[in-house]
Chains A and B, each alone.
Chain A
């Protein structure tokens, strides 16, 4: 959790709760989709948004000019702008900045989920997969074909086809690298009729300097 110190009100993985056609709701945790044909990357005027050879879409906040063309371009609403001085705790301010970590946050620049490439290099799962209490998030390599949620390792393509995996807004042709397994959380005792996501808290906010937050 305390990896990126994402400034409030940024929810890099916002859990949307769309209604199901038969009633009830479903949770759709939505990180950056790390699209293969990323619209945000195409429109960036200065190349601050870039794609690594591994396929992760990152932002260089030392180059970003804050034009927000990428916020207009992203069809998943997954980009966040530092409108004011972002609230950051002491620990974040003393961290060494890289686009792979985006900490400390910089005013007037864009941020989003970075899929923790530095964690992958260290042989660890991203913070989100580590923190998910229900082990609902798998992380892996689409070329290698293996993914893990920290408890088990699955064959990605087999897992997706066995469970009718889908992507968000595939008709747009963005080719997201994030896939979803349909379901309502039955495995952990949830039914579609149990609505409501828990409110997000930013636990480091009380100790953050410049704690000036805004609404999205």
Chain B
């Protein structure tokens, strides 16, 4: 109760939050009230649809868990992997999901370093993807182990010479760093939640926000400390992110297999990671925008900007594919004739051409064309890219392992029901953790938008947007305390 009574007795000008400081142009008390109400709404109100969705996800995760228990009991024989295709769905999924985690780093760190402002309303979602992707993706090397009971050997007997150890430490470092980076910009928002909690809120919620806000009052000293901490971590997180996908590429590139014998593999993986990460953030922000009615704050401006980033990354990927395939295809060293035939006209050709055309060329065309450069077109491009990037991981793993090392015929690979179920369970787990977090903290960085961005100028249909009903049920949140807001 004390936080609320304190908030109510605060006079204008007292250090109740960072909101006393400069605000972005166009921020009026009414706009801010509407914005905060909209963003805080999921914290206060939960519909039956939410619980149905959670129930569905729990079933999906449970199904994946059942498949994993089945695998624990019978061994990896339940998968489609065998000696000659000794990695499959699990390692592809690992590479793919960890790749998606680069969304957060690109959007929040790289763009923040360059002081871009358009992305402020989606940085929180991007950072959320990063943390959740690392939590889920990091499970896959463990799922892939033949002897998960000996996992701790990695620490007690670990050899730093092994690329697998590099992966373990890179992923753990990145997870820690990005968790800090998710949390830091949350502090002022937690404080805002704490200060705005109404009398109907539970004590647990009050306690959580009080602890999470870490005593934030928005004093100049605190602001300076937060600013410096964020500056440090956003610089550090960039090389960490690059290192993660580089060493993931090295578990392939450190082997003596012709298709992996590439010096650009690290850079190619990092570019692919950012590419799929951008596609993932477009899809997640579209879902959350629709479900949480954030249309007024995430607009076509964000879509277009992300669309341009996506198209730019697609062109980087086209460049990498050219430099990879033209150089190795020109020389055709041992093993490569098989690999090229396999990719371009053989067993993997349908996937390869979908990846090149559907995943790289078509998205660029969609975004380059002003007629299709709208939210719907950009979402379509993002979905294509996400599917194509999973296929690209498939081509790298299966395509690389299919090249015969001795005079035997290449083996086919198809994921078994257990691998597919565990993959589905992972997608479910990813959605489940995001869905839970949506109820724990605001999915938009409220204070950053208020201070540095303000209302979006370009609205698709302002009337429709404003018609969305008042969001926060009275009693959970008291009115805000901006200048003249009371």
B417 to chain A, nearest CB (A): 16
Q: Is the CB of A107 within 8 A of B146?
A: yes
Tell me whether A216 and B84 are in contact in the complex, defined as CB-CB below 8 angstroms, given that A18-B407, A46-B154, A72-B255 are known contacts: yes
A191 to chain B, nearest CB (A): 19
Q: Is the CB of A63 within 8 A of B84?
A: no
Considering only residues 77-128 of chain A, those with a C-beta below 8 Å from chain B are 77, 79-85, 107-110
Q: Is the CB of B81 within 8 A of A46?
A: no
Q: Which of B151, B164, B405 meets A77, CB within 8 Å? A: B405
Contacts of A45 in B (CB 8 A): 154, 158-159, 162, 164-165, 168
* Distance A39 CA – B83 CA, assembled complex (angstroms): 17
Q: Is the CB of B254 within 8 A of A216?
A: no
Q: Is the CB of A215 within 8 A of B159?
A: no
Q: Is the CB of B146 within 8 A of A82?
A: yes
Considering only residues 15-71 of chain A, those with a C-beta below 8 Å from chain B are 16-19, 28, 30, 39, 42-48, 63-69, 71
Tell me whether A174 and B405 are in contact in the complex, defined as CB-CB below 8 angstroms, given that A215-B82, A216-B83 are known contacts: no
Tell me whether A84 and B256 are in contact in the complex, defined as CB-CB below 8 angstroms, given that A45-B154, A76-B405, A108-B146 are known contacts: no
Measured CB to CB, the nearest residue on chain B to A75 is B256
Q: Is the CB of B159 within 8 A of A47?
A: yes
Contacts of B141 in A (CB 8 A): 67
B64 to chain A, nearest CB (A): 20
Chain B, residues 60-80, CB within 8 Å of chain A (1/0): the string is 000000000000001111010
Q: Counting CB contacts under 8 A, is B408 at the interface?
A: yes
Q: Which of A67, A73, A80, A110 meets B256, CB within 8 Å? A: A73
Chain B, residues 140-156, CB within 8 Å of chain A (1/0): the string is 01001111101101100
Q: Counting CB contacts under 8 A, is A201 at the interface?
A: no
* Distance A24 CA – B24 CA, assembled complex (angstroms): 81
Q: Is the CB of B77 within 8 A of A66?
A: no
Q: Which of B75, B81, B87, B164 meets A82, CB within 8 Å? A: B75
Q: Which of B146, B162, B256 meets A44, CB within 8 Å? A: B162
Q: Which of A16, A63, A71, A74 meets B157, CB within 8 Å? A: A63
Count contacts between A and B, CB distance < 8 Å: 138
* Distance A75 CA – B153 CA, assembled complex (angstroms): 26
Q: Is the CB of A80 within 8 A of B83?
A: yes
Q: Counting CB contacts under 8 A, is B216 at the interface?
A: no
Most central of A46, A79, A80 by chain B CB within 10 Å: A46
Tell me whether A43 and B255 are in contact in the complex, defined as CB-CB below 8 angstroms, given that A67-B141, A107-B75 are known contacts: yes
Q: Which of B82, B86, B151 meets A65, CB within 8 Å? A: B151
Q: Is the CB of B81 within 8 A of A83?
A: yes
Q: Which of A18, A72, A83, A212 meets B257, CB within 8 Å? A: A72
Q: Counting CB contacts under 8 A, is A187 at the interface?
A: no
Q: Is the CB of A172 within 8 A of B83?
A: no
Chain B, residues 114-151, CB within 8 Å of chain A (1/0): the string is 00000000000000000000000000010011111011
Q: Counting CB contacts under 8 A, is B252 at the interface?
A: yes
* Distance A79 CA – B252 CA, assembled complex (angstroms): 17
* Distance A28 CA – B405 CA, assembled complex (angstroms): 14
* Distance A73 CA – B254 CA, assembled complex (angstroms): 8
Tell me whether A79 and B83 are in contact in the complex, defined as CB-CB below 8 angstroms, given that A30-B406, A44-B162, A216-B411 are known contacts: yes
Contacts of B408 in A (CB 8 A): 16, 77
Most central of B141, B150, B151, B408 by chain A CB within 10 Å: B150
Tell me whether A71 and B163 are in contact in the complex, defined as CB-CB below 8 angstroms, given that A17-B407, A66-B145, A82-B75 are known contacts: no
Q: Is the CB of B86 within 8 A of A214?
A: no
Measured CB to CB, the nearest residue on chain A to B84 is A216
* Distance A63 CA – B165 CA, assembled complex (angstroms): 15
Q: Is the CB of B257 within 8 A of A75?
A: yes
Measured CB to CB, the nearest residue on chain A to B164 is A45
B459 to chain A, nearest CB (A): 52
Q: Counting CB contacts under 8 A, is B251 at the interface?
A: yes
Most central of B81, B146, B256 by chain A CB within 10 Å: B146
Q: Is the CB of A65 within 8 A of B150?
A: yes
* Distance A82 CA – B142 CA, assembled complex (angstroms): 17
Q: Which of B74, B82, B251, B401 meets A216, CB within 8 Å? A: B82
Q: Is the CB of A67 within 8 A of B157?
A: no
Q: Is the CB of A83 within 8 A of B75?
A: yes
Contacts of B159 in A (CB 8 A): 44-47
11 A-B pairs within 8 Å (CB atoms) are namely A28-B406, A43-B255, A46-B159, A46-B162, A65-B145, A67-B145, A67-B146, A73-B256, A83-B81, A110-B146, A216-B411
The 5 tightest CB contacts between A and B, nearest first, are A66-B146, A108-B146, A84-B77, A45-B162, A45-B164
Binding site for A on B (CB under 8 A): 74-77, 79, 81-84, 86-87, 141, 144-148, 150-151, 153-154, 157-159, 161-165, 168, 251-252, 254-257, 401, 404-408, 411
Beyond A64-B150, A75-B256, A83-B77, 8 extra complex contacts between A and B, CB < 8 Å: A16-B408, A45-B165, A63-B153, A65-B147, A67-B141, A67-B144, A72-B255, A83-B75
Binding site for B on A (CB under 8 A): 14, 16-19, 28, 30, 39, 42-48, 63-69, 71-77, 79-85, 107-110, 172, 174, 212, 214-216
